[in-house]
Chains A and B, each alone.
Chain A
């Protein structure tokens, strides 16, 4: 007998402020036996409950090889995320999941990997980047592209430096630079010209606003990437996580059980506009 909607208690064990409106929460299941059994794939999301305020779907941003604790990177945008941001270390929240498909990393062995992210879309990808980093020898060349609005919105500075040390190609760009910004400016698709490895042997994983995904797909197709090589994680209103409530329905797919990661080939078949 399972109750798919019953949250499991978890404790916040550390909080770090990433940007003005974004924090990363490290949490641990209170019940150790639950924590022991817990597994996830990068790209999967969990439902976080702040009791009294509600539930939100949040992608996991930590490594799938370190499940002792789980990290979530969360932007303060609504009532529930705002309540989360007010919580202190030691506070208890509810967790359900992990839900969704995630990125099928085991299928990407020997391939070059291109990560394309926009804004807080880097959070779910970070989990996948960590996974690739962990098993570096199994993959080819790695490239991480990141775009956001201003230099103040740049996420995971430390990680980016670490990835550079690992000889990953790491490029970031901002829409509105300030005086101190030395990187690229403009949208993330503008970084594609710096790509060095051939499309045929490369897998693309992307996450970001739908407009970014839309234009990235167009540009990458022009470069010769095939639809089955490209994977994107989508945002929809996931509420139950188990296909019950129908809020995240796009065409005949449920984002919560068939997604949130889809191949560009799947996306082609889905009515993305006015679904």
Chain B
């Protein structure tokens, strides 16, 4: 690893700040990482932030863009950052904030009117506005994946997003398949990296790490249909964290 410390900042847009806390869960391992990192900005990690205009090597940005304030902040971070990482599903795919994007237009309109500050028409992931160099997806982000990312970039390796579904890791762990038990699960179409956290606890995968490029939505939805699930159930599951895939536009109920 380089002797010169890498300048790192953590930033939050609209979100619960849970991803930054997930990183804190690394405890001693994070302290060890501090040998190589200089935290320049972080509301959670620092007592006092000195919002210096220094150039950052890596910025971790959590949260979605839902307002002009978010967008200004994002543009400011992008400008002074070398390598920008979208941290967590809000930043990567709009995540929880994005639920409203799939709601009927009338409800969306009312939500926008009732918001305390002026909000944008939709909730957006960072990539809608700026170049994102890497994505660490998940709600919340997987701390071991975060550590692996750090370990790689500190050695000059640019990590690759692996095109692997949750099922791959789920089977590696020797779990029984939820789909075979008759439980809806988005494992086959969702990016792995979480160690199949939910399916290992007998809980369905709800797609928090985003859909894979190789996803076979039609076939999975047909399987759900065979499991006698209503259009609404299927729609709600597919749009929990992600925008509705265009292959499944039939699920959208026009109101």
Provide the A79-102 mask, 1 if CB < 8 A to any CB of B, else 0. 100110010000000000000000
> Hey, which chain B residues are within 8 Å of A83, CB to CB?
156-157
B interface residues with partner A (beta carbon < 8 Å): 155-158, 160
Q: How far is the CA of A170 from the CA of B155 in the complex (A)?
A: 43
In this assembly, does A52 line the interface, its C-beta being within 8 Å of a C-beta of chain B?
A: yes
State A53–B160 Cα separation when bound (angstroms): 13
When distances are taken between beta carbons in the complex, the residues of chain A under 8 Å from B156 are 82-83, 86
Minimum CB–CB distance from A187 to chain B (whole Å) comes to 31
**B30 → chain A, closest Cβ, in Å?**
22
Which A residue sits closest to B157, measured CB to CB? Answer: A79
CA of A49 to CA of B160, assembled, Å:
19
11 A-B residue contacts at CB 8 Å? A52-B155, A53-B155, A53-B157, A79-B157, A79-B158, A79-B160, A82-B156, A82-B158, A83-B156, A83-B157, A86-B156
Question: When A and B form their complex, what is the total count of cross-chain residue pairs whose Cβ atoms lie within 8 Å?
Answer: 11
By a CB distance below 8 angstroms, the chain A residues around B157 are 53, 79, 83
10 closest residue pairs by CB, A with B:
A79-B157, A79-B158, A53-B157, A52-B155, A83-B156, A86-B156, A83-B157, A79-B160, A82-B156, A53-B155
Bound-complex Cα distance A80 to B160 (A): 12
B-chain residues with CB within 8 Å of residue A86 when the two chains form the complex: 156
Cβ distance A274 to chain B, nearest Cβ, rounded Å: 15
Summarize A's interface: helix, strand, loop or mixed.
helix
Greatest chain B CB density within 10 A among A79, A82, A86 is at A79
Q: Is the interface of B mostly helix, strand, loop or mixed?
A: loop
Residue numbers in B under 8 Å from A82 (CB-CB)? 156, 158
* Number of residues from A at the complex interface, CB < 8 A: 6
- Measured in the bound complex, the distance between the Cα atoms of B212 and A204 in whole Å is 43
> Which A182-211 residues have C-beta < 8 A from chain B?
none
Given contacts A52-B155, A53-B157, A82-B158, 8 further A-B contacts (CB under 8 A): A53-B155, A79-B157, A79-B158, A79-B160, A82-B156, A83-B156, A83-B157, A86-B156
Query: Which residues of chain A are within 8 angstroms of B160 by Cβ–Cβ distance?
Result: 79
Instruction: Give Cα A86–Cα B158 distance, bound, in whole angstroms.
Output: 14
How many angstroms from the CA of A82 to the CA of B156 in the assembled complex?
9
By a CB distance below 8 angstroms, the chain B residues around A79 are 157-158, 160
Task: Identify which of residues 9-63 in chain A touch chain B, using a CB-to-CB cut-off of 8 Å.
Answer: 52-53
Q: What is the bound-complex CA distance between A79 and B153, given in angstroms?
A: 11
Q: Which residue of chain A is the closest to B158 with respect to CB atoms?
A: A79
From 77 to 133 in chain A, residues with beta carbon under 8 angstroms from any chain B beta carbon are 79, 82-83, 86
Bound CA span A36–B4, Å? 42
A52–B151 alpha-carbon span in the complex (Å): 11
Residue of B nearest to A83 (CB): B156
| Distance in Å: Cβ of B252 to nearest Cβ of chain A | 34
Smallest beta-carbon distance B41→chain A, Å: 29
Shortest B212–chain A CB gap in Å is 20
Min CB distance B134 to A, Å, is 13
Alpha-carbon separation in the docked complex, A83 to B157 (Å): 8
**CB-defined contacts of B158 to chain A, threshold 8 Å:** 79, 82
In angstroms, Cα B159 to Cα A53, docked, is 11
Determine the distance from Cα of A83 to Cα of B160 in the docked complex, in whole angstroms. 15
In the complex, what residues of B have CB within 8 A of residue A52's CB? Answer: 155
- Cβ distance A56 to chain B, nearest Cβ, rounded Å: 14
Look across to chain B and name the residue whose beta carbon is closest to the beta carbon of A86: B156
CA of A97 to CA of B157 in the docked complex: distance in angstroms? Answer: 25
Contacts of B155 in A (CB 8 A): 52-53
Cα distance A82–B158 in the bound complex, in angstroms = 10
Minimum distance in angstroms from B112 CB to a CB of chain A: 44
A86 to B157, CA, bound (A): 12
Q: How far is the CB of A52 from chain B (nearest CB, A)?
A: 6
CB distance from B36 to the nearest CB of A (A): 15
Query: Looking at B155, B157, B160, which has the most chain A CB atoms within 10 Å of its CB?
Result: B157
- B152 to chain A minimum Cβ distance, whole angstroms, is 9
**B155 nearest in chain A by CB position:** A52
Q: How far is the CB of B243 from chain A (nearest CB, A)?
A: 31
Q: Name the CB-closest residue of B to A54.
A: B157
Q: Find chain B residues with CB under 8 A from A53 CB.
A: 155, 157
Cα separation A86 to B2 with both chains bound (whole Å)? 14
Q: How near does chain B come to A252, taking the closest CB pair, in angstroms?
A: 26
A53 (CB) vs chain B CBs: closest residue: B157
B159 → chain A, closest Cβ, in Å? 9
What distance in Å separates the Cβ of A91 from its nearest Cβ neighbour in chain B? 14
B2 smallest CB distance to A (angstroms): 12
Assembly CA distance A79 to B160 (angstroms): 9
A181→B160 CA distance, assembly (Å): 38
- Of the candidates B156, B158, B160, the one having the most CB atoms from chain A within 10 angstroms of its own CB is B156
The complex places the Cα of A198 from the Cα of B181 at a distance, in Å, of 68
Cα–Cα distance between A274 and B157 once the two chains are bound (Å)? 31
User: CA of A275 to CA of B160 in the docked complex: distance in angstroms?
Assistant: 24
Question: In angstroms, how far is the closest chain B Cβ from the Cβ of A130?
Answer: 34
Complex CA distance for A79 and B156, rounded to whole angstroms: 8
